Structure 1
Amino acid sequence: MSLLSRFFYKRPPDGLLEFIDRIYVFYSCFSTEVLPQGMYPVYLNEILTELHEEHVESSFLAINFRDGDKRSQFADILREYNIPVIDYPRHFEGCPVLPLSLIQHFLRVCEHWLSSGKNKNIILLHCERGTWPLLAFLLSCLLIYKELHGAEHKIPDIIYREAPKGFLPLFSALNPIPSQLRYMQYVARRNISPEWPPMERALFLDCLILRAIPSFDSDNGCRPLVRIFG
């Protein structure tokens, strides 16, 4: 059995991809297509209606990775079906990861919801435009957290392959995978680390070497801007 087939199954119902057991991802998250005006509510209503018909005794929780601070149309539509929605931001400091405290919150929410409700509860994962890299990252963390896969360096590639080729660079000029792998290692080591989540620590630079002449403004001033990733 391939790694891909171990974690992904056929979409039940149409419009959803089953990710491990009782965790569904909206298939639109893997697409670059934009639905015509007014079709998005129709798209969601069809999926949710079919879900309720197939899982009459199940309760649903939706997790949305949103773009911006405003309440999304996704949350408004799911409210009509009495489905609670938890929103997470699209990135942390410009990179599609989350602080460890939010990663821990996400993992515990998923674990609690799936372990209650006599094993009938279902989680729906959804991301708004531009937030696919964060969704892929947290899916990877969830696999490690549930100990379904031990090689964290392979998991992001497995999930990213579900999207069209070249999908990731559309949302980020920065390659987020090195930073994501580092955070995933924190998740993988949570059981052997005496401190979880690890405390945030300040980073100090003892020396900064400029190998090119900086650009000076008209007032002969220079303010270097340093961005550190990884």
Structure 2
Amino acid sequence: MTTDPRQDAPILTELSPADFRARLPALLTVYVAAMRYPRGTEYHRAPMWSEHSARAGWQAFAASLPEDPDTVVGIAYGYRGDTRQWWNQQVRAGMRHSGRSPEEIDRVLSDYFELTELHVRPDMQGRRIGELLLSALLRERTEAAVLLSTPEVPGEDNRAWRLYRRFGFQDVVRRFVFTGDARPFAVLGRSLPLEPDPVPHHHHTIDDPDGSGTP
């Protein structure tokens, strides 16, 4: 018997802002499980996620499985970066403290998509769901680059770090502590658009958009 290799592929659904807000409890359940936060965290995050869905350039995808299409197992969303946003101001300060020039800071932060959240339910990890969500979210973005922040881990040894490195994300700021969170974070970025291959074979950095290795 031949098994269809696509039968286990997740279903990706682009969410409208209204759909996103209506499904917030399910989406936040994935977030809390993936981040291993205590239950109840979702109630504090819900207003912020809802507000994010009204920002310029916002886009979101949810993942489910063919055998259970009503159950969300992954979520990814983001929006266009803006100098008035808290995250932009924090990253700007981090770049300045790391010795980057004002011109370089302005170049990096002038035209980017912020990958705000990307989460897959723990029991569903390792099935390329995060990779497919990230590819779908970035595929048609018109910004010059995409930026994200992720917690530092020893040796970059977790699924998130391996995914971002496979997609060609490079360091923007390392070991940065955001206001209100004692954990060190890395800010990573890469140029857009993505290649047709969802997992690039070359590093396309913000300063090296053609991936040639020459700034």
Question: Same-fold call, TM > 0.5?
Answer: no
Q: Name the one with the larger strand percent.
A: 2
Q: Which has the larger radius of gyration?
A: 1
* Structure 1 length-normalised TM: 0.30
* Structure 2 length-normalised TM: 0.32
